[in-house]
């Protein structure tokens, strides 16, 4: 049975509906408006504070102002003000050096050198293949006693180590001891930086990755080919103290080692922004390797290196040995500014292949093995026989 309503009631319902719609719309609009006003107010306060300080400094500061330095420090302070340890500002010169290093063109003689306080010299822990240092006879395990005629001591060790890196077409005098013979050589600086070092013995390979740059993938591929040529059956990866490089380059290296992902999203890693949106997905192809693996990690393993270790474990290809890692599961993006400087900002959290995000918690190794306090002070100088973390990994991959 149809029921009819009066014209007056119908008009009342229509007016009520319009009133509700207008009320809801105004409420939403006012909320948005208030947010905008708050943002504008905050910005206005910020600019006013900076202008006030600038006015005080220019009227009262006794010295001469360096405008370039002032602008750089203001930019640096703003980026640091976001409160994120992985976001930072680079001057134009720093950014130019960064771009060179990311492409593997960092200047230097081709060594990783550390100060040995016990023997008061500089210890050569790695030498890059075909580097100026290697061409002059400097080898892993050698000790450098003087740089440019200045003897090494505790006070000057870091400045002398810094002299071993520099621009191309410059030379540095290095006095070093190799197999009980001491000599001084002139070594050119400027070399395509090596980020992958490797060796093999008794069918076990060792690959140390010191950073994840655009050139790391090709260097890792060369290392894997070398292992295959030596009929290696197991590989120990070492990413202890590795905290530089970008997520993209780490996923390129992972892709080389693992098969196509079949679990979860199937991605090696996904980058998720603050709103929960996936802004980048890193996938793998059909290529993979067939080695037993272990990965050495420690309390300085961070970012891209953590993802590398985590994914090899997630794919069931490696176990982790060492101590808990940093817990930097984020991705940074570089924003170049008009004056050539750049701001590096954290833009996303990284989710690995299968396990939960390690951001803020780190990776707990399958086998927790710590170096002693004395070993930690000489970590770069430990032989494989002295390195208890390496020995545990060797035990694992050797079955």
What parts of the chain have a pLDDT lower than 70? 1-41, 106-107, 166-169, 191-192
Q: Are 148 and 162 in contact (CB under 8 A)?
A: no
- DSSP strand pairing (196-201 vs 269-272): unpaired
Q: Which residues contact 37 (CB under 8 A, 6 or more apart)?
A: none
Q: What is the gyration radius of the CA atoms in the chain, in angstroms?
A: 28
Which SS3 state, helix, strand or coil, does residue 296 take?
Answer: strand
Q: Which CATH number is 111-189's, of 3.20.20.450, 2.30.42.10, 3.40.190.10, 2.60.420.10?
A: 2.30.42.10
Q: Which of 146, 147, 165, 149 is nearest to 106 (CA)?
A: 165
Alpha-carbon distance of 38 to 268, in angstroms, equals 40
CATH superfamily, region 196-397? 2-enoyl-CoA Hydratase; Chain A, domain 1 (3.90.226.10)
Tokens of 91: 């001057």
What pLDDT, on a 0 to 100 scale, did the predictor assign at position 218? 94
Domain residue extents for the chain:
9-61, 111-189, 196-397
Which SS3 state, helix, strand or coil, does residue 158 take?
Answer: helix
Alpha-carbon distance of 29 to 374, in angstroms, equals 65
What pLDDT, on a 0 to 100 scale, did the predictor assign at position 25? 45
Tokens of 8: 């007056």
What pLDDT, on a 0 to 100 scale, did the predictor assign at position 297? 98
Which SS3 state, helix, strand or coil, does residue 307 take?
Answer: helix
What pLDDT, on a 0 to 100 scale, did the predictor assign at position 107? 67
């Amino acid at each position: 049975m149809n029921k009819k309503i009066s014209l007056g009631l119908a008009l009342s319902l229509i007016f009520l509906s319009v009133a509700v719609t207008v009320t809801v719309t105004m409420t939403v609009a006012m909320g948005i408006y208030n947010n905008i006003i708050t943002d504008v107010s905050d910005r206005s306060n910020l600019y006013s504070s900076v202008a006030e300080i600038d006015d005080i400094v220019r009227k009262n500061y006794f010295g001469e102002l360096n405008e370039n330095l002032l602008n750089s420090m203001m930019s640096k302070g703003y980026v640091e003000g976001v409160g994120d340890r992985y976001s930072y500002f680079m001057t134009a010169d720093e950014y130019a050096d960064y771009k060179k290093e990311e492409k593997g063109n960092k200047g230097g003689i081709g060594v990783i050198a550390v100060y040995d306080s016990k023997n008061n010299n500089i210890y050569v822990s790695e030498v890059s293949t075909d580097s100026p240092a290697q061409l002059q006879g400097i080898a892993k395990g050698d000790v450098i006693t003087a740089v440019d005629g200045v003897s090494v001591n505790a006070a000057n060790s870091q400045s002398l180590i810094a002299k071993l890196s520099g621009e191309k077409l410059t030379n540095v005098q290095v006095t070093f001891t190799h197999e009980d013979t001491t000599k001084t050589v002139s070594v050119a600086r400027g070399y395509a930086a090596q980020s992958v070092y490797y060796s093999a013995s008794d069918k076990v390979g060792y690959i140390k990755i010191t950073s994840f740059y655009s050139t790391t993938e090709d260097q890792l591929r060369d290392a894997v080919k070398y292992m295959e040529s030596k009929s290696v059956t197991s590989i120990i990866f070492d990413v202890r103290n590795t905290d530089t490089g970008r997520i993209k380059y780490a996923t390129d290296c992972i892709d080389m080692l693992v098969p196509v992902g079949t679990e979860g999203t199937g991605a090696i890693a996904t980058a998720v922004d603050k709103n929960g949106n996936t802004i980048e997905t890193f996938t793998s192809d059909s290529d993979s390797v067939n080695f037993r693996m272990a990965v050495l990690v420690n309390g300085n393993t961070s970012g891209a290196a953590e993802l590398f270790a985590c994914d090899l474990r997630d794919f069931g290809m490696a176990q982790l040995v060492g101590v808990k890692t940093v817990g930097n599961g984020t991705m940074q993006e570089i924003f170049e500014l008009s004056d050539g400087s750049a701001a590096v900002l954290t833009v996303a959290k990284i989710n690995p292949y299968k396990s939960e995000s390690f951001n803020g918690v780190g990776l707990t190794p399958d086998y927790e093995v710590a170096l002693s306090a004395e070993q930690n002070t000489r970590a770069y100088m430990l032989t494989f026989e002295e390195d208890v973390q390496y020995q545990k990994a060797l035990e694992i991959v050797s079955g």
